[in-house]
Amino acid sequence: MPRLLYPFLVYRSFFFPFFVLSLIVVPCWLVFRLYRLRSPGHPLSLRRETLLLTFVLYVCGLASATLSPNHPSRVNAETAVGIEVHPNLASLTCSSAIMAKGSNDRFFCLYNAKGNVFLFFPLGILLPLVWRRLHFWSGLGIATALSISIELLQYFSRAWGSYRTADINDVVLNVFGAGVGLGAVFLLRLGRGTRRRVRRA
C-alpha cells in the first residue's frame, strides 16, 4: 500500500487547499445555479450542469495547485529570480547541460514541465464542451490569458512570502497542454461529423 501511495506524495500539499476551497466554492455555485434555473428560459440539463460543476471543480484545483503558498528554503527564496520573461528551449525540454540525468535539477524540471502541460490539458477539453460554439483559437486565447494571469498572481504573491516565480516558459507549457486538449475535442467532433455525413450519403 505505501508503494501505491508514494507517487502521490508530491501532491499532498495540493489536496488540503483544494478540499477547503471546494467546500466554499461548490455550495455557492450550486446556490447560484439553482437560482438561475428558477428563472424562465433556463431549462434544466443534467449533462450541462454536470459539465459546469466539473469545470468549477477544475478551477478550484487549478487555483489550489498554482496559487497556494509555496515556502521553499531560505536559500532558494533568496536566489529566486522572481520573473522570467524570455522563453528558454533548454528549460522547456529539460535538455540543459547542467541538468545531468538522474540529478535533482533534471527531476524537478521534468516534474514541472509535465505538471504545467497536464495542468491545462483538462481546460482544453472542458472549454469546448461547456461552450459548444467556442472556436479553437478563442479557447487558446482564454488559456493564454488565464496562464498569464496565474503567473502574475504568483509573482505578486511574493509580497506575502509565497516565493513563487513567474515564468514565461510555464505559460508556453500551459498553452501547449490546453492546445492538445482543444485539438483532441475538435478532432473528435470533426470525425463524428464526417461519419454522420457518410451515413446520410
Question: How do residues 151-195 score in pLDDT, each as one tens digit?
Answer: 998 888 776 666 677 888 999 999 999 999 999 999 998 888 776
Show which of 40, 68, 96 is a domain's final residue.
68
Structure pTM? 0.82
Same domain membership, residue 131 and residue 44: no
Together in a domain, 100 and 145: yes
What's the domain range around 35? Answer: 12-68
Domain end among 44, 68, 92? 68
CA 81/CA 88 separation, integer angstroms: 15
Using alpha carbons, list the distances in angstroms from residue 148 to 35, 152, 166, 182, 184: 33, 6, 9, 18, 23
pLDDT tens digits for range 94-147:
766 556 666 666 777 788 888 899 999 999 999 999 998 999 999 999 999 999
Q: Say which residues have a Cβ less than 8 Å from residue 131's Cβ, sequence separation at least 6.
A: none
DSSP calls for 40-77 = TT----HHHHHHHHHHHHHHHHHHHHHHS-----HHHH
Query: Are 101 and 150 part of one and the same domain?
Result: yes
Last residue of a domain, one of 45, 68, 91: 68
Q: Is residue 17 part of a domain?
A: yes
Are 111 and 187 members of one domain? yes
Looking at the structure, tell me whether residues 90 and 62 fall in a common domain. no
DSSP 160: G
Do 112 and 174 fall into the same domain? yes
Q: Are residues 111 and 188 in the same domain?
A: yes
Same-domain check for residues 64 and 91: no
Would 5 be classed as within a structural domain?
no
**17 and 107 both lie in a single domain:** no
Structurally, the chain folds into a number of domains equal to 2
Whether residues 40 and 110 fall in one domain: no
| Host H or E run for residue 167 | strand 166-167
